[in-house]
């Protein structure tokens, strides 16, 4: 199997796929590892060059667009009927009633908190509401060491404003919790989407959080993996907004080579004026509609969602299996895993829209610009709303130009 | 190759790194990249050269090349003591530390039992790529400058490959443009030509989509639109979307990486091409825009040629006086329509008309008035046609109309309407006199009256004869009895 010789993912995949290779000794597997930040572009390039992969790990929010483009093969009947960790997970893989992939791993956004900081400073404070969370962050911000990284006096929250989908993934629940009616507005083709008044409370809250956090060009542009390392290894922040992969990995394999140096715990995103909101996402395994090896490809997919593969995979990656049983049964009693599962069950995925893969990147870029504007202007000024209006114009252009639905 | 034990003092011992002239080793590796082969194999050869030179210190060598457009480091090759292969990894440039990418210093990190050293391949203020060495030991500080020299030598090879690939890309593009341009001039059918054009815009130029809007002959309204996406051929758009105000020059889309390219012939608009990256949102490479605009000019020429040929063909098919089809083309249409009718399992009518007393009109008023009368009848026939009907001037004062989906009752009504309309449309002469016109009409139906086009034609003619016999100015439907009355 010609995967990358030195790649951690390649080695892990090799280990996890053993049973498939035993059962199909004549099949050559080639694994291509692509960073998430570039995966969409690479998948599209592969299709344009007429060389799409047989099996793809697809971000759950891309399914609508890949289906719209006709790039996905139908899942054969009866391939898998196991239960999923939440209903929305199955919905991500089914577009217009057609099952086009099998859910593989799931994630949900939340707060990862350093338990030592909570124990030392929270003192009965409330982190379940915007108000309580902001109050605690303000307190932490005032006492933070502004000169250097100091794990005992950390900055409140690890948060980046990079113009990438991960920024939208992390901050989208805050906007929804503030009342943003994204699905509804997009569904009815409203002229105002990001500039709609319902997005204001969330944007204003995030702006305040960034200021309390003393986010600057340096900390606001850290790439997500480094931000994680700054949190888990350096102790730079008290909270991290993101998915709880490290908690999962450490809980099931405390001897993992990269671990958190601090005790950490998973918390749901604090509830805003519109209540609690969690974004659910993950990966779907799909087969290219142009694959000449569809039968084998689905065999591999079935293997990859199976317990023998997932046990190896979850242990090393911290990715949560989409299917019930296995990991979920073994760790059902674990308080952290229970909290994560509760959040997963309550989560919602992005709106199912044929152009979502494009829309999410436009929204992410716009959100990033607005956050920087919020930092510079102290409030959601005309400049911030004018950025939002420009984003809306761009979104409408996309929707108007989406004329290529294949017959 | 077995793993070496770390030195007991904790200090790294990198015998070959220490003893080798790494500039010379880098030059040898760079030379391996400077051949005709610009594929990963040249990088693999370079990696192998380095691994051979540092055999005891290094477990694995990987080479990455920076793509300045997507700002990603593409792993080109990876070689270890078990062999080598094409690389598959991608690293966004921003994920690498500034020490490496801006300050051009090496960085290393622990992989457990090994250390990975990332060495910049510097190119002015950027990097051309990165060399990754997986070593058994941490690189001691005093060897850092040596390892950087290795990177500097390798940069020459990396830059050579990058430039060679750019030249190859430009050459491929030029070839695609030339080939398509040749095809555009050679293709006869307009549809084939357009399909070829949009397909090239996607396949050779790498856009997500190409959409072509073709205008009507006046250059005002969009007549048709087709769209291409690689892998799915070309398909027509179900409707015509709103287009931006048209410009004479290529114009970028204000919000998306896309370009509107007008296709003009002189001042006349023939079409509008829209190429975009609506899915990848990647800005189009600058070097593709001008060739695409040039290709659009070629397409304009080919479109205009196709239009002229179509017009010539159309003219050749039509009667000079009335503009109705000539008999030869009409017969083909009849054959085609009967085949359709057979598939549809419905009925098709053939209506044959003949002017009453046309010779007298010619003799009395002269041929110019006779022509005027023929034109008037042709107009009335044209007005009575539905979409899908076809009319022809058979010759002299005889006309035929082919009417699909026609039953006996509808055929009778249509024939009567033609008789009435012609009768109520006399030709007025300059002196105020009116020339009354009358026609006789014969109708036959497929498959009721005939099983093939020749029989249908004959029976419509026989029915016309009956109408004439019955006193002119009326219509007759063919029946077996009518045939008997004709002595058949």
pLDDT in tens, A146-161: 778 888 999 999 988 8
Q: What does the pLDDT look like over A361-379, one tens digit per residue?
A: 999 999 999 999 988 887 7
Statement to judge: residues A136 and A260 lie in one domain: yes
Statement to judge: residues A301 and A287 lie in one domain: yes
Please name the residues between 131 and 190 in chain B that touch chain A, using a CB distance below 8 Å: 132, 134
Counting Cα atoms < 13 Å in the Cβ hemisphere of B5 gives 3
Tell me, yes or no, if B99 comes closer than 8 A to chain A by beta carbon.
no
Tell me, yes or no, if B70 comes closer than 8 A to chain A by beta carbon.
yes
For strands A237-242 and A155-158, give the pairing.
Answer: parallel
Name beta bridge partners: A93: none
* Domain around A49: 2-108+279-346
Statement to judge: residues A116 and A104 lie in one domain: no
Does residue A169 lie within any of the structural domains? yes
pLDDT at residue A406 is higher than 60: no
Statement to judge: residues A44 and A13 lie in one domain: yes
Q: What is the DSSP letter of A122?
A: I
Chain B nearest-CA residue for A396: B255
Q: List chain B domain ranges.
A: 11-166, 187-316, 325-487
Mean pLDDT value across chain A: 88
Does residue A261 lie within any of the structural domains? yes
Average pLDDT over residues A193-215: 93
User: In chain B, what residues touch A31 (CB-CB under 8 Å)?
Assistant: 88
**Nearest neighbour of A34 by CB, restricted to B85, B90, B241:** B90
Does residue A355 lie within any of the structural domains? no
Distances (CA, A) of B376 to B316, B336, B422: 22, 28, 8
Statement to judge: residues A314 and A222 lie in one domain: no
Chain B nearest-CA residue for A390: B255
Residue B18 confidence (pLDDT)? 78
Residue A78: how many CB atoms within 10 A of its CB?
A: 6
Does residue A385 lie within any of the structural domains? no
User: In chain A, what residues touch B199 (CB-CB under 8 Å)?
Assistant: none
Chain A nearest-CA residue for B133: A6
Residue A350 confidence (pLDDT)? 92
Q: Where are the alpha helices (DSSP H) in B318-366?
A: 327-344, 358-365
Tell me, yes or no, if B90 comes closer than 8 A to chain A by beta carbon.
yes
Chain A nearest-CA residue for B208: A48
Residue B13 confidence (pLDDT)? 72
Please name the residues between 203 and 222 in chain B that touch chain A, using a CB distance below 8 Å: 203, 206, 208-209, 211
* Correct CATH for B325-487 of 3.30.70.270, 3.40.50.620, 2.40.10.10, 3.30.530.20: 3.30.70.270
Instruction: Check if the beta carbon of residue B91 is closer than 8 Å to that of residue B82.
Output: no
Instruction: Check if the beta carbon of residue A312 is closer than 8 Å to that of residue A303.
Output: no
Residue B310 confidence (pLDDT)? 75
Chain B nearest-CA residue for A7: B89
Chain B nearest-CA residue for A3: B88
Distance CA B30, CA B26 (A): 6
Name the band, by pLDDT with cuts 50, 70 and 90, for residue A254: low
- The two three-digit tokens of residue B243, written as one number: 């287009």
| Burial of A26: CB neighbours in 10 Å, binned 0-12, 13-18, 19+ | exposed
Low-confidence ranges of chain B (pLDDT < 70): 1-12, 112, 185-189, 230-232, 483-488
Last residue of a domain, one of A346, A375, A396: A346
Q: Do B62 and A50 touch (CB under 8 A)?
A: no
Statement to judge: residues A122 and A262 lie in one domain: yes
Distances (CA, A) of B411 to B400, B452, B469: 13, 18, 20
Residue A2 confidence (pLDDT)? 30
Does residue A118 lie within any of the structural domains? yes
Candidates B70, B86, B97, B231: best to mutate against A (most CBs of A within 10 A) is B231
Instruction: Check if the beta carbon of residue B175 is closer than 8 Å to that of residue B51.
Output: no
Statement to judge: residues A169 and A120 lie in one domain: yes
Q: What does the pLDDT look like over A323-343, one tens digit per residue?
A: 999 899 998 889 999 999 999
The CATH homologous superfamily for domain B11-166 is GAF domain (3.30.450.40)
User: In chain A, what residues touch B62 (CB-CB under 8 Å)?
Assistant: 6
Distances (CA, A) of B283 to B60, B204, B278, B295, B365: 36, 16, 10, 20, 72
Residue B7 confidence (pLDDT)? 40
Contact pairs from chain A to chain B, CB under 8 Å: 113
**Nearest neighbour of A397 by CB, restricted to B62, B94, B255:** B255
User: In chain B, what residues touch A229 (CB-CB under 8 Å)?
Assistant: none
Q: What does the pLDDT look like over B452-484, one tens digit per residue?
A: 999 999 999 999 999 999 899 999 999 887 765
Tell me, yes or no, if B110 comes closer than 8 A to chain A by beta carbon.
no
* Spatial CA neighbour of A271 closest among A165, A176, A166, A162: A176
Chain A nearest-CA residue for B207: A48
Last residue of a domain, one of A298, A325, A346: A346
Distance CA B84, CA B48 (A): 8
Does residue A197 lie within any of the structural domains? yes
Statement to judge: residues A212 and A139 lie in one domain: yes
User: In chain A, what residues touch B230 (CB-CB under 8 Å)?
Assistant: 47-50
Last residue of a domain, one of A221, A245, A267: A267
Residue A383: how many CB atoms within 10 A of its CB?
A: 14
**Nearest neighbour of B112 by CB, restricted to A40, A44, A257:** A257
**Nearest neighbour of B90 by CB, restricted to A38, A226, A362:** A38
Chain A nearest-CA residue for B256: A394
Check: CATH 3.30.450.40 for B187-316?
yes
Q: What does the pLDDT look like over A276-313, one tens digit per residue?
A: 999 999 999 999 999 999 999 999 999 999 988 998 88
Residue B186 confidence (pLDDT)? 66
Statement to judge: residues A23 and A127 lie in one domain: no
SS3 B400: strand
Statement to judge: residues A90 and A194 lie in one domain: no
Q: Do B85 and A2 touch (CB under 8 A)?
A: yes
Count: domains in chain A: 2
**Nearest neighbour of A358 by CB, restricted to B95, B134, B278:** B278
Domain at A66, CATH number: 3.40.190.10
Statement to judge: residues A307 and A209 lie in one domain: no
Long-range contacts of A71-74 (CB under 8 A, 24+ apart): A71/A47, A71/A288, A71/A289, A71/A290, A71/B231, A72/A100, A72/A101, A72/A286, A72/A287, A72/A288, A72/A289, A73/A100, A73/A286, A73/A287, A73/A288, A73/A289, A73/A291, A73/A294, A73/A297, A74/A98, A74/A99, A74/A100
- The two three-digit tokens of residue B343, written as one number: 């598939």
Q: What is the ipTM of this complex?
A: 0.87
User: In chain B, what residues touch A404 (CB-CB under 8 Å)?
Assistant: 209, 211, 227, 229, 237
């Amino acid at each position: 199997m010609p995967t990358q010789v030195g790649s951690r993912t390649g080695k892990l995949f090799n280990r996890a796929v053993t049973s498939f290779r035993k059962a199909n000794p004549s099949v050559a597997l080639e694994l291509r590892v692509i960073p998430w930040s570039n995966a969409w572009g690479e998948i599209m390039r592969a299709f344009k060059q007429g060389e799409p992969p047989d099996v793809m790990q697809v971000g759950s929010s891309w399914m609508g667009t890949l289906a719209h483009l006709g790039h996905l093969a139908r899942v054969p009947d009866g391939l898998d009927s196991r239960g999923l960790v939440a209903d929305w997970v199955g919905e991500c893989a089914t577009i217009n009633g057609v099952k086009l992939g099998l859910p593989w791993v799931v994630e949900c956004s939340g707060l990862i908190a350093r338990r030592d900081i909570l124990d030392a400073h929270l003192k009965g404070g409330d982190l379940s509401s915007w108000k309580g969370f902001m109050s605690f962050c303000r307190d932490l911000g005032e006492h933070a060491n502004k000169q250097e990284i100091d794990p005992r006096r950390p900055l409140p929250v690890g948060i980046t404003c990079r113009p990438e989908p991960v920024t939208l993934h992390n901050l989208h629940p805050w906007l929804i919790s503030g009342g943003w009616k994204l699905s509804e507005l997009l569904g009815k083709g409203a002229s105002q989407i990001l500039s709609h008044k319902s997005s204001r409370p969330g944007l204003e809250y995030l702006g305040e959080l960034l200021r309390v956090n003393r986010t600057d060009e340096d900390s606001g542009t850290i790439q997500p993996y480094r931000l994680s390392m700054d949190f888990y290894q350096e102790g730079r922040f008290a909270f991290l907004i993101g998915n709880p992969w490290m908690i999962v990995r450490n809980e099931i394999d405390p001897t993992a080579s990269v671990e958190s140096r601090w005790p950490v715990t998973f918390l749901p995103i604090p509830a805003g004026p519109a209540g609690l909101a969690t974004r659910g996402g993950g990966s779907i395994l799909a087969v290219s509609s142009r694959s000449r090896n569809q039968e084998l490809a689905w065999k591999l997919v079935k293997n990859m969602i199976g317990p023998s593969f997932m046990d190896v995979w979850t242990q090393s990656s911290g990715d949560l299996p989409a299917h019930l049983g296995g990991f979920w049964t073994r760790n059902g009693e674990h308080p952290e895993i229970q909290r994560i599962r509760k959040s997963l069950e309550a989560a919602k995925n992005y709106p199912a829209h044929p152009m979502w893969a494009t829309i999410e990147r436009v929204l992410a870029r716009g959100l990033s610009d607005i956050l920087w504007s919020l930092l510079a202007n102290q409030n959601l000024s005309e400049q911030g709303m004018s950025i939002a209006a420009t984003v809306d114009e761009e979104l409408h252009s996309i929707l108007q130009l989406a004329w290529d639905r294949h017959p | 190759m077995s793993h070496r034990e770390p030195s007991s003092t904790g200090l790294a011992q990198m015998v070959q790194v220490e003893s080798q002239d790494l500039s010379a080793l880098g030059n040898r590796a760079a030379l391996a990249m400077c051949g005709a082969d610009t594929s990963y194999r040249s990088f693999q050869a370079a990696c192998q050269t380095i691994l051979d030179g540092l055999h005891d210190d290094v477990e694995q060598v990987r080479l990455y090349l920076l793509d300045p457009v997507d700002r990603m480091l593409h792993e080109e090759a990876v070689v270890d003591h078990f062999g080598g292969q094409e690389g598959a990894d991608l690293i966004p440039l921003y994920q690498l530390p500034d020490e490496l990418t801006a300050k051009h210093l090496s960085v290393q990190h622990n992989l457990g039992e090994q250390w990975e050293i990332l060495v910049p391949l510097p190119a002015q203020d950027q990097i051309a790529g990165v060399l990754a060495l997986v070593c058994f030991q941490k690189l001691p500080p005093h060897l850092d400058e040596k390892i950087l020299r290795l990177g500097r030598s390798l940069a020459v090879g990396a830059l050579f490959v990058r430039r060679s690939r750019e030249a190859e890309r430009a050459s491929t593009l030029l070839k695609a443009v030339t080939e398509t341009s040749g095809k555009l001039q050679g293709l006869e059918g307009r549809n084939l030509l357009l399909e070829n054009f949009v397909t090239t815009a996607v396949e050779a130029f790498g856009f997500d989509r190409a959409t072509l809007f073709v205008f009507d002959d006046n250059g005002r309204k969009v007549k048709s639109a087709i769209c291409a996406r690689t892998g799915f051929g070309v398909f027509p758009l179900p409707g015509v979307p709103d287009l931006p105000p048209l410009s004479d020059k290529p114009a970028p889309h204000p919000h998306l990486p896309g370009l509107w390219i007008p296709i003009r012939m002189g001042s006349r608009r023939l079409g509008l091409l829209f190429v975009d990256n609506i899915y990848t949102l990647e800005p189009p490479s600058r070097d593709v825009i001008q060739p695409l605009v040039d290709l659009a000019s070629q397409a304009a020429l080919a479109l205009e040629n196709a239009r002229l040929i179509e017009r010539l063909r159309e003219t050749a098919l039509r009667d000079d006086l009335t503009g109705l089809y000539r008999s030869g083309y009409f017969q083909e249409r009849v054959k085609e329509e009967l085949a359709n009718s057979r598939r549809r399992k419905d009925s098709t009518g053939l209506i044959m008309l003949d002017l009453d007393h046309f010779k007298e009109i010619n003799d009395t008023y002269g041929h110019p008035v006779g022509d005027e009368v023929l034109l008037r009848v042709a107009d009335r026939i044209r007005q009575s046609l539905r979409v899908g009907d076809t009319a022809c001037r058979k010759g002299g004062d005889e006309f035929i109309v082919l009417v699909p989906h026609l039953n006996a009752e509808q055929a009778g009504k249509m024939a009567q309407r033609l008789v009435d309309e012609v009768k109520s449309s006399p030709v007025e002469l300059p002196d105020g006199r009116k020339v009354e016109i009358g026609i006789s009409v014969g109708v036959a139906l497929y498959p009721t009256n005939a099983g093939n086009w020749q029989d249908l034609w004959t029976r419509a003619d026989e029915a016309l004869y009956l109408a004439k016999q019955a006193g002119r100015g009326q219509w007759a439907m063919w029946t077996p009895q009518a045939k008997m009355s004709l002595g058949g």
